[in-house]
Amino acid sequence: MSHSFWRSLPERISFFLMAIIFFVLLGQVALRPLGISFNWTQEFTMTVFVWLVFFGIAAAYCRNEHMTVDFLYNILEPGLGKTARTVWRFGIEAIQLVVILVLAVSLVKVAIESWSLRAGSIPEFRIGYLYLGAFLAVGISIVAQIGNVIEYFSENR
């Protein structure tokens, strides 16, 4: 598959998750006047929303449009030489990578610890699934961040 497909995958997943939220809530609202109500929609949409947030973050990483310390770039980079600018950029990128790696490890740990817990209104749904979905998105963010670093340093040799 092409490079652009993988870069756009989190956006596609985010669109799909948003559509799921929309149609589940639309169904809940449309069927309520008929006396049909689903008790699982709130818990389900909150879980999907959490996944949507994490896949949105992954999409930002894939597009290299994530939040970063722009003011440090703007203040310090103009006065730095090429080598110092490269070291500075590498340091910032490394810190971002460490933060998302710690997040990934934490998500796995919490998924394991909460695996026996089940959602109240969806008894088949393990709470650990919530964290595993977020971990998948963070994994995409890690791969995208590494790709962005490699791309930056290959362009600025």
Mean pLDDT per 10-residue section of the chain, whose length is 157 residues: 78 96 96 91 94 94 76 72 83 89 97 94 92 96 90 81
How far, in Å, are 53, 54, 72, 137 from residue 14 at the CA level?
A: 8, 9, 30, 10
pLDDT digits 0-9 by tens, 70-114: 666 677 777 788 888 888 888 888 888 999 999 999 999 999 999
How far, in Å, are 5, 101, 106, 113, 152 from residue 98 at the CA level?
A: 26, 5, 12, 22, 18
- Quote the pLDDT of residue 72: 66
What are the structure tokens assigned to 76, written together? 């310090």
pTM value is 0.86
- CA angle at 135 for the pair 111 and 60, rounded to the nearest 5°: 150
φ, ψ (nearest 5 deg) of residue 40: -95, -10
